[in-house]
Amino acid sequence: MIARLRFFFSTIFIVLSLNAFAQDFSISGKVVDANGSPIEFANIILSAENEESFFKGTSTDDEGFFKIDNLVDTTYFVRISFIGFEDFEQKIILKGNLNLKIIQLDETSENLDEVTVIGKKPTITRKPDRLIFNVENTALIEGSTLGVLKSTPGVIVSESGINIKSAPAVVYINNRKVQLTTDELIQLLENSPANSIKSIEVITNPPASYDADSGSVVNIIMSKNLITGYRGNISTNYTQGVFPRYNAATSHFFKNNKINLNVNYSYTNQKLNRDEDDRVNFLDDLNAVDQIWKSQTNRNTWSETHNLNLNFDYNIDDRNTLSLTSTALYMPYFKYQIKNRTNIFDENGDFESSFTADNLSRDNKYNIGTDLIFRHDFDNNANLTFNGHFTLYDYERDQKVFQDELNDDDSEFNTLANQDTQIITGKVDYNLPIDDSSIFDAGLKYSNVNTDSDITRTDIVNGAEVLNTDNTDAFKYDEKVFAAYANYSKTWDKWDLNLGLRTEQTNIKGESLILNETNAQDYLNLFPTVSIAHQISDNVSFNGNYKRSIRRPSYTNLNPFTLFLNENTVVLGNPNLVPTYVDYYKLGVDFLKYFSFEAYYMNYDGDIVELPRQDNETNIVAWTPTNLDKKVDYGFDFLVNYYPSTKFGLYAAISVFNVTEEANFGEGFVELSQWSQLFILSPNMSLLKDNSLNINASFWWMNKNLQNLQTVQNLLISSVSVSKSILNKKGVISLIVEDLFNKQDFDKSVMYLNQSSRNFTDSDNRFIKLGFRYNFGNTNLNTNERTTSAEERERLKDLN
């Protein structure tokens, strides 16, 4: 202890002495690789008197140059290092200004993959408004991006979307919102290799700079390029579920002093299966069972999808950067086939009749979003960013339905649906670091959404097509949003504070041309956000959050079309939908390094949910988006983040929560409430001497819970992923097994007022996936892949 104190005070004395008698000498130079290319961000460490006594340090600029000033004439030790290269060390006797000229660093005998795989483990960092799950170079990234999300603490992935507990989450990549529909988003993440993911941020309280409809955010952080050069990779995987699926992808990254270019492409060919068992009890006026309809439905989808992501940065000079980013999805082939058989029984269970219904749809769509971004950096470290965005979305569905009744009362009809959407946004953001501990942000945004949709139904009568005017319509939607925000964050002593306020003015007009109906909405709202954290002691810290957010209805949900699965099962739009407002409160305590306890409360005003509504007179079940009067979700979470070594880690959680939903359907008031529990266990380990064999498992169990006025039975989500580095660690083979216990299917029931039904859905989510990835080029590089954003695109929805 005495020796350490002596060393500490000696170092302080040397530094103060050298500064006191500085003669303003300097050491400079340029650092390059074996090809003569400059190395940016190389570390320059200067030691005085002995090699362990740090004196000064700096890093190289984008041209590889460095300079250390205010030095005296004495003896120094200089060390230059950069990941993936051998260290350069030299003793210097300084007698005046010294230019070391060109310093070449030699690559290490092991490439970057070898260096980073060793000792790498997933870790969890908790902040007042978010949880950061670090997964770079772990077994998790050898699967798909969706697979990584399934293993991320707090995130629940299901067929209907991505949730943080019961709340839908908005997905961002590198702080830019993913610009796809819900179905496209799931498909994109499932078919995108995860090998460039650095971390996942689960943001439960996004700051005011995020759009007001970003109540909860999953932000996927990709690694960034470090030095100049080129790298690339190719990957492929084979998945065996009910049917085989195929995916191939390639990524390319290039950077020099002026240009940073990333291009990523993936192709997917797949066939998915889904089986459903439905029971609907149609009731009489006294709510007694009148008829029982039992249906068995098989759904198959065939698809070919091309995804392209382009990111181009041009450094005009040291202060100005111009960027072009674009995400494109093209689906030239999509076939959707439904085969249904329904048996009808009387109230005693005796067979009465049956029918079969076949539905064949073919889709064609593309979705292209492009951002042009200009950023200017000021002398005071502030920056100003301008962002212009344009989305072009085109969707077409050609559907044929044939229903064969037992009594020969058959029906056959065709529908043709189209949706064309254009989104234009412009925004400006200003970021000002006030001092070392506080930052001020402010910004403005304008967005305009225009959607033209139409649907035409023709009935087949005696072999001829006859226009059905009752189910033919056209819908125009126009939305304008003006937004402004300010955000302030401050850190001092043991406190962290973030305050934000966002205001949005929304103008909406929806017109049903055939029905001659117009729905107009104009509203101005304020959306505050607050995050605070306090370090009580070395082992205990406190945090609290509040945020108000909005969820606007999707464009398709607002149009009044009727889409048919068959004559008795339809999907209806609702032009009278209004936005949902969400107030979120959370208090949390982190203690003893590994443990956390949280209590939260969420209040939804007008939550938008899609409900099955049965008509007991016409025997039609209509899936309709509806505003609930009220929804409250509150509960308690106990979390464990235990990562004692590079060989083993564990994340575990216990959540106890209550969901209450209320609605008034005219014929009566409904209030349902359900306490539920969620248990999470996610261990991971690294094997072999060099940690090149990685295993990760994830198990989620949720008991009976309430979702959209439907009771969902017990659900077990399970997966195991294994990866092994090969070919001198330029290649990686992986194996992923999903739904080990075949308990990942949904069993839902409806029981309130005059509604009585049950549905069991067996999705194609039990599979084995084999994958291979090969890296080439300069493997010392990491990717800065990102996706463009426009929050308006999140509400795009296919006509299904």
Is 737:773 a contact under the CB 8 Å cutoff? Answer: no
Distance from the Cα of residue 319 to its chain's centroid: 31
Please give the model's pTM, rounded to 2 decimal places: 0.75
The Cα–Cα gap between 231 and 252 comes to 6
Residue 232, beta-bridge partner list? 252, 776
Nearest to 218 by CA among 307, 125, 133: 133
Q: Tell me the domain boundaries of the chain.
A: 2-104, 123-795
Residue 298, beta-bridge partner list? 275, 339
In CATH, the architecture of 2-104 is: Sandwich (2.60)
What is the block-wise mean pLDDT of the chain (800 residues), using blocks of 10 residues?
Answer: 42 40 72 79 71 65 80 81 76 80 73 35 66 70 68 68 72 70 66 70 81 78 64 89 93 83 89 95 93 95 90 89 89 92 94 92 90 90 92 90 76 90 93 89 94 90 88 89 94 89 93 81 92 90 92 80 84 89 92 90 93 93 93 94 78 93 89 94 84 85 93 92 85 90 93 94 93 77 45 52
What does each C-alpha distance from 246 to 190, 303, 769 come to in angstroms? Answer: 11, 11, 10
What is the strand order of the sheet 98-104 is part of?
65-71, 25-32, 98-104
pLDDT tens-digit series, residues 439-489? 999 999 999 999 898 989 999 988 889 998 888 889 898 999 999 999 999
3-state secondary structure 653-681: EEEEEEEEEEEECCCCEEEEEEEEEEEEE
DSSP per residue over 589-650, as a string? EEETTTEEEEEEEEEEES-EEEEEEEETTTTEEEEEEEE-SEEEEEEEEEEEEE--SSSEEE
- Determine the pLDDT at residue 11: 43
Q: Is 684 left (phi over 0), alpha (psi -120 to 50) or beta?
A: beta
What is the strand order of the sheet 569-572 is part of?
562-566, 569-572, 620-627, 608-615
- Helix, strand, coil shares of the chain as percentages rounded to 5? 5, 65, 25
| Length reported for the chain | 800
Nearest to 573 by CA among 663, 471, 480, 669: 471
- Determine the pLDDT at residue 483: 95
- Determine the pLDDT at residue 194: 67
- Determine the pLDDT at residue 14: 39
The Cα–Cα gap between 645 and 28 comes to 40
What does each C-alpha distance from 400 to 358, 412, 415, 455, 649 come to in angstroms? Answer: 8, 8, 7, 13, 53
Nearest to 553 by CA among 768, 797, 247, 287: 797
Is 205:216 a contact under the CB 8 Å cutoff? Answer: no
Is 723:139 a contact under the CB 8 Å cutoff? Answer: yes
Coil, strand or helix at 558: helix
- Determine the pLDDT at residue 614: 94
What does each C-alpha distance from 1 to 6, 8, 422, 465, 507 come to in angstroms? Answer: 9, 11, 69, 93, 69
- Determine the pLDDT at residue 361: 93
DSSP structure class, residue 553: P
Residue type, 515: L
Is 600:635 a contact under the CB 8 Å cutoff? Answer: yes
In CATH, the architecture of 123-795 is: Beta Barrel (2.40)
The Cα–Cα gap between 258 and 349 comes to 75
Cα torsion angle, 590, 591, 595, 599, sign = negative
Nearest to 443 by CA among 486, 388, 499: 486
The Cα–Cα gap between 78 and 742 comes to 60
Topology agreement, domain 2-104 and domain 123-795: no
